[in-house]
């Protein structure tokens, strides 16, 4: 079913919208949540919450890309769960790996958190930086730090040698970009 048809179901308050969304994007969202949380139970809960949030959000919202819309909700829910887990010292997940690597982008891993108002600006800045990258670099970075895919899987899917080193260079590049744009990294 096309996205616009599924969104119409939401607008019609037809509950088959959720089943259709799950059929089309369930695997994507489960994989994304698993990549960040590493536990199937937690991932399932995040995906179930995603469908609930989506049901509540559409209408009034009418996303241009349903795929991005639900994946973004899943990602945010997974990060919230990850934050909760970390608070209770439940370490060792894939999300911890990602955060550990992203430590290269900042000088002090325990620095002051960015204010909520600044976070959107940070996202825009990352957007601009992504625009400066070549197609492969951009894809690799997004697959790793947006979707949380394993480095070896990304490398394998692209037949890309030295993917970890590529990511390392990209992290350093992002750090330099953020510094240049005035963020205190």
Structure tokens at 107: 């000088």
61 belongs to the binding site for other proteins (CB under 8 A): no
- Site for other proteins (CB under 8 A): which residue of 135, 149, 173, 176? 135
* Least distance in angstroms from the C-beta of 138 to other proteins: 6
Pick between residue 8 and residue 173 the one whose CB is nearest to other proteins.
173
Is residue 16 within 8 Å of 9, Cβ to Cβ? yes
Of 13, 52, 169, 180, which lies in the binding site for other proteins, with binding defined by CB under 8 A? 169
Does 157 participate in binding other proteins (rule CB under 8 A)? yes
Pairwise CA distance, residues 92 & 74, whole Å: 20
Among 120, 132, 176, 180, binds other proteins (CB under 8 A): 120
Instruction: Decide: 177 and 125 in contact? Cβ < 8 Å.
Output: yes
Query: What are the angstrom distances between the C-alpha of 101 and each of 63, 169, 172?
Result: 32, 11, 11
65 binding other proteins? (CB under 8 A): yes
Q: Assess 151 for contact with other proteins (CB under 8 A).
A: yes
Q: Residue 13 has what DSSP assignment?
A: T
Structure tokens at 131: 């625009």
Angle at CA of residue 28, ends 23 and 34, nearest 5°: 125
Task: Determine, following the binding rule CB under 8 A, whether residue 71 of this chain makes contact with other proteins.
Answer: yes
How far is residue 102's CA from residue 145's CA, in Å, rounded to a whole number?
Answer: 8
User: Which residues would be at the binding site for other proteins (CB under 8 A)?
Assistant: 64-65, 67-68, 71-72, 75-76, 79, 83, 89-92, 94-106, 108-114, 119-120, 122-123, 126-127, 130, 135-136, 138-139, 142, 145-146, 150-152, 157-162, 164-165, 168-169, 174, 178, 183-185
């Amino acid at each position: 079913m096309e996205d616009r048809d599924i969104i119409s179901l939401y607008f019609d308050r037809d509950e088959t919208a959720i089943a259709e969304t799950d059929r089309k994007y369930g695997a994507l969202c489960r994989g994304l949540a698993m990549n960040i949380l590493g536990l199937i139970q937690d991932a399932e809960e995040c995906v179930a919450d995603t469908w609930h949030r989506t049901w509540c959000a559409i209408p009034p919202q009418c996303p241009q890309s349903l795929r991005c819309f639900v994946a973004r909700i899943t990602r945010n829910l997974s990060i919230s769960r990850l934050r909760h887990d970390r608070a209770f010292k439940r370490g060792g997940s894939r999300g911890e790996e990602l955060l550990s690597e992203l430590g290269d982008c900042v000088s002090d891993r325990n620095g002051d958190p960015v204010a909520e108002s600044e976070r959107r600006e940070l996202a825009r800045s990352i957007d601009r930086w992504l625009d400066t990258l070549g197609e492969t670099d951009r894809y690799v970075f997004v697959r790793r730090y947006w979707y949380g895919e394993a480095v070896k899987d990304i490398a394998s899917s692209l037949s890309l040698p030295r993917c970890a080193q590529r990511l390392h260079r990209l992290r350093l590049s992002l750090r330099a970009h953020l510094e240049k744009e005035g963020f205190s990294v």
